């Protein structure tokens, strides 16, 4: 049975590559750059759109728009090529990331990169300037627990996400069936061809690493260079995925506690206190009665419960420069103001809302939940609470494995082991204390690149 499955998977991937080679011969429009919308205010930024097939298996069918932004190379005579950047999500608009680079508010691209490369942000389908996922605001903003405690609350959760996915499908249309990463990768290749067929330079972070690895599998010879930072491993068991993320979040939170306890009070307002104890007491308080979030307005939920605090703190751990903010957020929440830990709401801003809507619409296609009973989910809760008692497993992986039970999706891009051959100059990077993407995932991703040379086990670069 296992051998037959391998043969079937090999045939499926061969079929994808064959279909792809046929679409590559399809006539693409050239890209004409023009002004950007006011939401992308960086000086000199240029924007464009490209029509591509809704379904790459039927390239002559319905079309959708891909939106992109470009910071032109500052030294065009010594230009090397185009550097595509994807900041992850799925759902974060790459166009906004490039605009922030142009404004100087995002500093991970140095002056030499800006001088020698056109920096391009391509919004994946469903997001930002591209044809967007649309959902009803009131339905999306409805509070729903992802930690059901019995069969009745489990059915309520599943029914909610069934209703939500049906609503988004009704408002979005057939795009909802074509949001998997294979489709996104084929979009990227279409843009590369339309820009003049240069080999691609790719910087992918978080979910952007998955776009990168799947692009490298399908188009290894079209890559000039690739950096994969904070890696999302596609091929893994549900339990492994959940525990890997839950434990890396837990370890990073504990590292934050230790940092804050020994910092000065200017850096962390909770300095000198037992922050783990404060954290646990805060969760007990919020479980009894949600804590007000008075400064939210329409941007985030008016109060915050314990489950939302556990989910919300993960985001504030992404960047060590925000750890002071997390310390203040916890302190303020103990004083009755949990605004900084509140859940963001859809507001009616189509560009911004697409960041929220596209997450489940994409991730449920790439990571469909196979274990769908309350007993399965309860077992995950128990296991996560053992290995991650501070957060009890609240994480992006848990969100996917609970919400996607009810979310209607096509299994177009199921997790499967792939070996990537012939891709040059791939750099795989991951932090040990990354609250979302486990270092173990980076090891798994690096293992997909057959010819990749990696440092000896245990090599650590500190910054």
Can you tell me the distance from the alpha carbon of 436 to that of 162, in angstroms, rounded to the nearest whole number? 26
What CATH fold (topology level) applies to the domain 2-132+180-235+418-448? Rossmann fold (3.40.50)
- 277 burial (CB, 10 Å; 0-12 / 13-18 / 19+) is exposed
Residue 1's pLDDT is: 30
Six-digit token pair at 390?
């501070």
Six-digit token pair at 123?
């919004």
Residue 18's pLDDT is: 33
| Tokens 């296609």 sit on residue | 365
Residue 456's pLDDT is: 55
Region for 452 from its dihedrals, namely left if φ exceeds 0, alpha if ψ lies in -120 to 50, beta otherwise: beta
At how many degrees (to 10) do helices 439-448 and 238-262 cross?
A: 130
CA dihedral 253, 255, 243, 421 (to 10 degrees): 120
Residue 24's pLDDT is: 41
Q: Which strands form 223-231's sheet, in the order they lie side by side?
A: 46-53, 63-71, 117-122, 81-86, 200-206, 223-231, 426-429
Give the model confidence (pLDDT) of 274-300 as tens digits: 999 999 999 999 999 999 999 999 999
Q: What is the pLDDT along the chain (463 residues), one digit of tens a residue?
A: 323 222 222 323 333 333 333 334 344 578 999 999 999 999 999 999 999 999 999 999 999 999 999 999 999 999 999 999 999 999 999 999 999 999 998 777 889 999 999 999 999 999 999 999 999 999 999 999 999 999 999 999 999 999 999 999 999 999 999 999 999 999 999 999 999 999 999 999 999 999 999 999 999 999 999 999 999 999 999 999 999 999 999 999 999 999 999 999 999 999 999 999 999 999 999 999 999 999 999 999 999 999 999 999 999 999 888 999 999 999 999 999 999 999 999 999 999 999 999 999 999 999 999 889 999 999 999 999 999 999 999 999 999 999 999 999 887 888 888 899 999 879 999 999 999 999 999 999 999 998 766 665 555 554 4
Contacts of 404 (CB under 8 A, 6+ apart): 161, 360, 363, 364, 367, 368, 369
Six-digit token pair at 397?
């992986």
Residue 55's pLDDT is: 97
Residue 460's pLDDT is: 52
Residue 414's pLDDT is: 84
Residue 187's pLDDT is: 98
Report domain extents, the chain: 2-132+180-235+418-448, 134-178+236-415
């Amino acid at each position: 049975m296992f051998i037959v499955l391998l043969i079937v998977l090999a045939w499926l991937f061969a079929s994808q590559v064959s279909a792809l080679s046929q679409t590559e011969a399809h006539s693409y429009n050239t890209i004409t750059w023009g002004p950007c919308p006011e939401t992308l205010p960086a000086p000199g930024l240029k924007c464009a759109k490209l029509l591509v097939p809704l379904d790459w298996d039927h390239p002559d069918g319905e079309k959708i728009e891909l939106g992109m932004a470009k910071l032109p190379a500052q030294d065009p005579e010594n230009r090397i090529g185009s550097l595509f950047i994807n900041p992850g999500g799925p759902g974060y608009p790459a166009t906004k990331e490039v605009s922030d680079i142009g404004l100087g508010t995002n500093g991970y691209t140095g002056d030499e990169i800006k001088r020698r490369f056109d920096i391009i942000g391509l919004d994946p389908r469903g997001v930002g300037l591209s044809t967007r996922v649309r959902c009803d605001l009131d339905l999306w903003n409805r509070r729903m627990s992802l930690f059901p405690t019995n069969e009745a609350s489990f059915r309520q959760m599943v029914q909610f996400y069934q209703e939500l996915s049906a609503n988004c499908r009704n408002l979005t249309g057939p795009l909802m069936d074509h949001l998997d990463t294979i489709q996104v990768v084929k979009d990227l290749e279409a843009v590369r061809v339309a820009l003049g067929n240069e080999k691609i330079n790719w910087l992918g972070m978080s979910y952007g690493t998955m776009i990168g690895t799947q692009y490298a599998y399908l188009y290894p010879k079209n890559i000039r260079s690739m950096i994969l930072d904070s890696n999302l491993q596609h091929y893994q068991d549900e339990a492994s995925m959940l525990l890997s993320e839950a434990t890396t979040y837990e370890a990073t939170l504990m590292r934050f506690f230790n940092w804050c306890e020994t910092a000065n009070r200017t850096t962390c307002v909770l300095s000198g206190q037992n922050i783990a104890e404060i954290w646990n007491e805060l969760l007990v308080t919020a479980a009894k009665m949600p804590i007000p979030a008075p400064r939210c307005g329409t941007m985030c939920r008016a109060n915050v419960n314990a489950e939302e605090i556990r989910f919300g703190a993960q985001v504030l751990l992404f960047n060590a420069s925000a750890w002071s903010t997390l310390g203040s957020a916890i302190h303020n929440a103990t004083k009755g103001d949990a605004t900084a830990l509140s859940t963001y709401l859809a507001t009616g801003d189509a560009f911004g809302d697409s960041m929220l809507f596209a997450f489940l619409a994409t991730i449920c296609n790439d990571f469909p939940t196979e274990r769908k009973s309350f007993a399965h989910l309860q077992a995950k809760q128990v296991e996560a609470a053992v290995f991650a008692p501070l957060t009890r497993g609240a994480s992006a992986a848990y969100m996917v494995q609970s919400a996607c039970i009810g979310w209607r999706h096509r299994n177009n891009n199921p997790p499967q082991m792939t070996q990537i051959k012939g891709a040059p100059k791939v750099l795989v990077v991951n932090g040990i204390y990354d609250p979302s993407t486990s270092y173990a995932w980076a090891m798994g991703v690096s293992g997909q690149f057959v010819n990749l040379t990696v440092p000896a086990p245990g090599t650590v670069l500190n910054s």
